[in-house]
Structure 1
Amino acid sequence: MKNTPTIMVQGTTSDAGKSTLVAGLCRVYQRMGLKVAPFKPQNMALNSAVTPSGGEIGRAQAVQARAACVELDTDFNPILLKPNSDTGAQVIVHGKALSAGMEAAQYHDYKKIALNAVLESHQRLSHQYEYVVVEGAGSPAEINLRQGDIANMGFAESVDCPVIIIADIDKGGVFAHLVGTLDLLSESEQKRVVGFVINRFRGDINLLTSGLEWLEARTGKPVLGVIPYLHGLSIAAEDAVVSEQYITNAKLKVIVPVYPRMSNHNDFDPLRLHPEIDLQFVYATEDTKTPLPCADLIILPGSKNVQADLAFLKAQGWDACINKHLRYGGKLIGICGGYQMLGDAINDPLGIESSTPLSKGLGYIPMQTTLAEHKTLLNVEAHLTLNNKTANAIGYEIHAGQSVINDVNYQTLLNANLAERAGFVNQDNQIAGCYLHGLFDQTAVLQIVMSWAGADIVAQINLAEQENKAIDKLADACEQHLDIKKLMHLTEQWYQNKL
C-alpha cells in the first residue's frame, strides 16, 4: 500500500477553524507543486455541493477542493449526515443517500460499516495524491462519542496518521481548551498529536509568548503557529449562517425567513456581499414569533425537511406576512424546498422526510410535489428569462421532490430540458421559483432578478474570484504565521518511523 503522507486537523471545539486551516494548507501545498486532496471522514451539514459524477459532498470540502485546485470527488467526504430532525439525519455514503433517515442510535450502530466506506475513500486518495489533508469534526474529546468514532481520533488511529489540534483564542480559554483536550485523549492518541495551532489572534504577539512557552513545556508539544484574526474572509461557511454585510448604497431590501432545517444558505452570499443589497435573515423560535419586515423581495430558501419547515413558517404567521407583502406589490421567489412550498401540495407517501403523508402548500403555484426515494443530483446550465431579460444560469440541484405543474400555459423561469427543472413565473410576474441552487452566483442573473424585484443594481460581484482571493489570503497567513517546514517535517518523520 502506498504510504502517502496524511495530516489531520482536529479542533478543541466546533468552529475552531478546522475547515479554513485545511483549505489554507491545501492551497499552500498546491503552491509547492504537490497534488493534494482534502478529506473529511464524516461531515454533518445542511450545505452541500454536487460533484461532476453526480454525488453529494459537504460544502466545506468543495471549497477545500478549489483551494487544492482539484476537481470535486465524493471520496473527499465519504460520509455526509444531513439532519432532518432533532434526533435523525439522512445518511449519504460516497455521494448517494443511503436512507431517508436514520436515528442517532441507529447510526451509532452503523458506524462500523461507515468506517469501511471512510477507509476505502482514504485508500483511493492515497493512491491518487501526494498529500492528504484531513479535517476532523467537532472535538476529539467528546467522551460520549469516543466509542466507534470515525470522525476524529477513531479515523486517525485506523490509518495511523499524525494530528495537529487547532483552538480559537478569540473565544477565550485557549490554553484550557488545548491542555484539556489533550488530557482527555488516550495515551496512543496523545502520542499522535504533533503540535498545536492557535487561531484568530488579535493584539501584540509578544504578550502571548509566555503562554506559548508554558503550553509547550506543559504538554511537550510544539506550537506550530499563531494565525491572526483575518477580517473579511469571504469563504463559504459550512453551517453557521453568516450575516455580515458590506452595504454602501442600498437599493433593495431582501428578506430570507430562516426555518429550522434551512439548507444551502450559501445561495445568498452574493446578495449578502453586494454593496447595493440590504439582506436580512429573519429568525424566530417556537416560543417567539417574529413578523417579516417590509421588503422588496422575499426569498424562501431550501429545506432538508420541507413539510416540517412549512409548518414552522405557518406557525410563525409568516404565510400571512407573505400574503400582505404580495398585496403591496412585493416580489416572492422560492429556491428548491422554498419552491416546493409555493405549490398546492407536498406529498410524502414513503416517509422520506416526514411521517406526514400530505401537506398543503402556500398555493401560489399550481404544482404538486411528491418526494421520491432517489434524490436528484445534477449540475445544471440553463438560460434564465425574467422581465424579458435573459442570462446564463449555472448551478446545481439537490432534491428528493418531483414536481408537476398543473398548467400547460405557465411561464418558465429557466429553459431547462425537463419541465420540473424549468421553474415557474406566475402571470402577474410577481412570484417565481425553481430548483437551482447557486442561482445568484452569476452577476447577470443577480442583476435581472434584482431588477425584477424593483431596482437596477450596478456593482458586479464575482463570488468565485472573491473566494479564490480569500483562500490566497488564508494561504498567505499560513505561510507567514505557521512553521510549514516543521509541520511537513513532523508529518514525514511520522511516516518514516512507520517503515
Structure 2
Amino acid sequence: MVQGTGSNVGKSLLVAGLCRVFARRGLQVRPFKPQNMSNNAAVTADGGEIGRAQALQARAAGVAPSVHMNPVLLKPQSEIGSQVVVQGHVVGTVRAREYQFWKPRLLEAVLDSFGRLSDEADLVLVEGAGSASEVNLRAGDIANMGFARAADVPVVLVGDIDRGGVIASLVGTKAVLDEADAAMIKGFIVNRFRGDPALFDEGMRIIAERTGWTAMGLVPHFADAVRLPAEDGLGLRRAGTRRRNASVVIAVPVTPWISNFDDLDPLREEPGIDVVLVEPGEPLPVDAALVLLPGSKTTIDDLLYIRAQGWDIDLKAHVRQGGQVLGLCGGYQMLGQRIEDPFGIEGEAGRSVEGLGLLDVATTLTAKKHLEAVTGVTIPDGTPLSGYEIHIGQTSGPDASDRAFARLDAGRLDGAVSADGRVAGTYVHGLFTDDRQRKRWLERLGAESSGLAYEALVDDILDRFADHLEAYLDCDRLFAISAR
C-alpha cells in the first residue's frame, strides 16, 4: 500500500507507474483504492464508475477497469457534502460529519472488493487517500491505516520534497501514528526531487534513522507526469503560459464543481491549440474560436455561477460574433432553455432554473445515473466517435430531435445542435481522446491537426515513467515486501 504524508504527493502516479513496472515483468497486477474523493470519474467494463486515477492505473496494468478497484468513491456536491458511490453505483448523498458514521459499514464493501482483486492477481497495489497522519480521523478509517490494518497490507509512505519540509513530514508522521499503525510502514519514498540526488543522501539517512523505516528510493521530478490524466482540480491548473503561436484559442470557464476535465487533455497536446482556463472575475477571451463548457457534478449551481460571473453575456456575444460553443454533459444541459430538478437531485426538490438559452432543449434531472461506453458517428459528417456517458438527467427538444449531435451504435441519438450550427451539446465524454473527432474539430476551427495519436502518447508516457521508477526505486525490495 502506497500512503502519503499529504494530498497530492504523487501517490496516484506512483501506483500507475508501479502497475506498469510489475505488469511488464509478467505479473497479473491490479490497482486498488479503498476510498477516493474526486469528480473525475471513469465508466468501467462492469457497468459502474470509479475514480479516473484508478482507470489510468488499470490501463498501466494492462487490464480493464473494474468497480472493485475503487469500491468507495465520494463525489463532492457542495463544500460539506458528497454523493457516495459504492462498488460503482450511487447509494446516497451524505454530509461530511454524517459520513464518519458510514465508514464502518463501508469497510465490508471495501474488503469484499479487495478480496476479489486479490483472488485474481499476483500483486495488488493499493493507494491511500490524503494523509496517513490524519490521526483525528483514524476512528473508522477505511482509506489509510484502518484499511492497512484490516487487510494486513504492508505500507510504503511517500513524501513530496518539491513542496518542502519532507524530512519533517515523514518523521512527523511516525511521531503522530500509534505504535501498531507505524509498524505497518516498511519503508519510505521521497518523491519529485529536483537537482543532484546525491545532495539529499544525508536527508535520506536522517529519515531512515529517525523513523526506523527502509529507504526505498529518491524519485527525481518526472516532467511529463503532468501530461497524464489528473485525479483532481490541482491537475486542471497545471503550470504553463498561453501559447502565443497557437492558431486557435479554446476558452474554458472554470466553475466550482467542474468534473471530468480530462476531456481537455488531448486538446492541450495539440500545438496549434491554446486552451485558456477562464478564472472567476475574468471575461471570456474575445479571440476564442470555441468556448467549451465541461461537465459538472452540480449542474444547476455551476450554471448559476456562470451567470454570476457574467459569462452568460460573454457567451451570447461570442455566438453573435460567429464563435462556436460546445457543451459536454453538464455543459450541454446548461446550454438549454431550462433545467428542472423535481426530485431534489442537486438540492431542493422542485427547483427550476433558466438555462443559457443557446440550444432549444430542456433537461429534467432524474435519479437514475446513465453509465455506458459508447461508439457512433457525428451528424451530418459521419465522423466516428468513441467515449463514455456518465450523467444524470434526460434532455429533449427540437434541437435534439431535429438536429442531433451524434447517432450512437446503440441505436439512439445523442446531443443537439443549434439551427445556425454554432452551438452544440453532447453527453459523450472522451470526445477529443478519439483522434478522428479531435482532427475534425481542429479542422472546423481552422487549426491543422498534428497527427497526434493520443492513446499511444499516454502509453508512451507510462512506459517512460515506469523506466524512471525502475532506475530510482528499489522495485525488487518493494515486491519482496508485498510477497512477505
Aligned length: 478
Equivalence map 1:3-402=2 (5 Å): 8-99=1-92, 101-233=93-225, 234-239=227-232, 240=234, 241-244=236-239, 247=243, 249-284=245-280, 289-294=281-286, 295-355=288-348, 357-385=351-379, 389-402=381-394
Query: When the two structures are superposed, what TM-score results if normalisation uses the length of structure 2?
Result: 0.96
The yes-or-no answer on 1:466 pairing with 2:460 is no
**Per the alignment, do residues 312 and 408 of structure 1 end up closer, same or farther by CA in structure 2, a change over 3 Å counting?**
closer
User: Does 2:468 correspond to 1:477?
Assistant: yes
Pairing 1:456–2:447 present: yes
Give, in whole Å, the separation in 2 of the partners of 1:323 and 1:154. Answer: 52
Q: Is the 8 Å Cα contact of residues 399 and 416 (structure 2) preserved in structure 1?
A: no
Contact 2:44/2:50 (8 A) holds in 1: yes
Measured in 1, the distance between the counterparts of 2:276 and 2:221 equals 25
Q: 1:250: Cα distance to partner?
A: 1.1
Q: Pairwise CA RMSD of aligned residues?
A: 1.6
Q: Specify the SS of the correspondent of 1:365.
A: coil
Write the distance in 1 (CA, Å) between the matches of 2:419 and 2:322. 14
Report the Cα distance in structure 1 between the residues aligned to 2:210 and 2:414, rounded to whole angstroms.
62
Q: Distance in 2 between matches of 1:93 and 1:483?
A: 35
Normalised to the residue count of structure 1, the TM-score between the two structures is 0.93
Distance change (3 Å), C-alpha of 1:407 and 1:173: closer
**1:28, 1:479 within 8 Å by CA — same for their partners in 2?**
yes
Once the two structures are TM-superposed, the CA of residue 104 in structure 1 deviates from its matched residue by 1.1
In the alignment, the residues of structure 2 paired with residue 380 and residue 221 of structure 1 have an alpha-carbon distance, to the nearest angstrom, of 47
- 1:353 alignment partner AA: E
State the 1:369 CA deviation: 0.8
Identity %: 44
CA deviations on 1:170-204 (whole Å, 9 max, x unpaired) are 11111001001121111011111000001111111
Gaps of 5+ in 1: 1-7, 494-499
Partner of 2:64, secondary structure, is: coil
Q: Hey, what's the Cα distance between the residues in 2 that align with 1:163 and 1:174?
A: 18
CA positional deviation for 1:447: 2.1
* 1:152 partner amino acid: N
Counterparts of 1:196 and 1:257 in 2: how far apart (Å)? 39
CA distance in structure 1 between the aligned counterparts of 2:411 and 2:16, rounded to whole angstroms: 38
Matched, 1:487 2:481: no
The residue type paired with residue 481 of structure 1 is Y
SS of 1:165's partner is strand
Give me the whole-angstrom Cα distance separating, in 2, the residues matched to 1:216 and 1:338. 50
Q: Which amino acid in structure 1 is aligned with residue 94 of structure 2?
A: M
Following superposition, the deviation at residue 212 of structure 1 comes to 1.2
Cα distance change, pair 448–180 in 1 and its aligned pair in 2 (3 A): same
1:490–1:318 Cα change, 3 Å: same
CA distance in structure 2 between the aligned counterparts of 1:413 and 1:448, rounded to whole angstroms: 14
Q: Residues 408 and 383 (structure 1 numbering): CA distance in 2 closer, same or farther, change over 3 Å?
A: closer
Amino acid in the other structure paired with 1:48? A
CA distance in 2, matches of 1:407, 1:72: 35
Partner Cα separation in structure 2 for residue 473 and residue 487 of structure 1: 19
